[in-house]
Amino acid sequence: MSTDTLRVALVHDEFVRRGGAEAVLEEMVRMFPRAHVYGLYAGARPFFTLDGRRYDIRTSFLQKLPLWMRQHPRRLLPLLPHAAEQFDLSVYDLVISSSSGFAKGVITRSLIPSICYCHAPTRYLWDSTHEVSAKAPLGGAYASRALLHYLRMADFAAAQRPDVFIANSQFTANRIAHYYRRESSVVYPPIRTDFFTPLLPAGSAGRSPTEHAFVLLGRLTPAKHFEQAVAVCTKLQLPLLVVGGGSEAGRLRKMAGPTVQFAGNISDHAVRDALRRARALLQPGIEDFGMAAAEALACGTPVIAYRSGGVTEIVTSSKYGILYPTARPEGLAEALRQFMLVEHAFEASVLQKQAMEFSTYRFRNNFQHYIDIALRGISAFG
């Protein structure tokens, strides 16, 4: 069957905020512009616009809950497994889930190929389970542990349903194998290397003049550990621009010194401008892949990151940045000192070439390859 005539369902965890996972889903929509898009729940408006076209989001019963509940997903935890299972996807020829939660648990007919593009195993169930329990109200720790136990069993069961697992990095693939006992293939997320480009013309040596500020880019959440970069840059009196919004914004502003500025949520064009003019992108947390790091390289900007997670698959050489070995502020501070001794040696063209390994073109080709395999596998039984 030609992929042009396929009836495709794209299932995503939620549409409340936009991040890297949503950027990946958008590229899937571009691959299958006639696909129906599903989400367990969405924000105030259950639709999005992409390339001038409106896409309605087919949501579960969770969408009927008040907006304030949908904006705080932990309140929805007991309902998430059932919400994913309630979608009737029997009319489709192909089901693709984009998931770091329960979207992968959709139920399909036996001869409908189900592919899960996994951004990460469900983090709060496997990586952060003890932290989540510790934050429970007094007397609620036991109930919290019992709920998480139930959700882990439901998450493991959900992970057995896709016919094909695709991971966004080898780091994620290893965790899928560990937590779900599933093999997966790696397809790196799509980086818009035609949009994220250096200021200098292609082929130019060196780097463009910078505004001499380091940049943090992403959702301001505890897992990012942006507080380390804010503390270090405040102590060393280094200019730092923090781009993004989230639950940690207030705390970060309180601890920031005069050299730290906050841009909040800004447009893609403003993000590109910030990356182009940055001395380096800082990444003190562990990312499952780390699209911001690849976008920085595409803009001709080196990366300084903690040596763990998907960034080790992006910054594979000292030509692209500095990876430091300890997840402590002292490690970042030492990496910054090292960087300032060698930053003149980074070349925008070299950084940009590395980012091309993660281009949209490569994503489409590699993702389509595994779709074709899944379709052929099902056809063999049809």
Burial of 338 (0-12, 13-18, 19+ CB in 10 A): middle
Instruction: Note the pLDDT of residue 381.
Output: 44
Per-residue pLDDT of the chain (382 residues; tens, 9 = 90+): 556 789 999 999 999 988 999 999 999 999 999 999 999 999 999 999 999 999 999 999 999 999 989 988 788 999 999 999 999 999 999 999 999 999 999 999 988 999 999 999 998 899 865 555 555 554 556 678 899 999 999 999 999 999 999 999 999 999 999 999 999 999 999 999 999 999 876 555 566 555 679 999 999 999 999 999 999 999 999 999 999 999 999 999 999 999 999 999 999 999 999 999 999 999 999 999 999 999 999 999 999 999 999 999 999 999 999 999 999 999 999 999 999 999 999 999 999 999 999 999 999 999 999 999 999 886 544 4
How many Å apart are CA 202 and CA 381, to the nearest integer? Answer: 49
Q: Please tell me the distance from the alpha carbon of residue 286 to that of residue 73, in angstroms, as a whole number.
A: 22
CA distances from 93 to 30, 106, 111, 372, 374 (A): 18, 14, 9, 12, 11
pLDDT at 201: 63
Residue 56's beta-bridge partner residues?
47
The pLDDT value recorded for residue 132 is 54
Extract long-range pairs of 81-86: CB within 8 Å, 24+ residues apart. Answer: 81/105, 81/151, 81/154, 81/155, 81/158, 83/40, 83/41, 84/11, 84/40, 84/60, 84/158, 86/60, 86/61
**Which run of H or E residues covers position 283?**
strand 278-283
Write down all domains in the chain, each with its CATH number in brackets.
8-190+359-379 (3.40.50), 213-357 (3.40.50.2000)
Looking at residue 379, what is its pLDDT? 54
Q: Which two tokens stand for residue 153?
A: 């069993």
Q: How far apart are CA 217 and CA 226, in angstroms?
A: 9
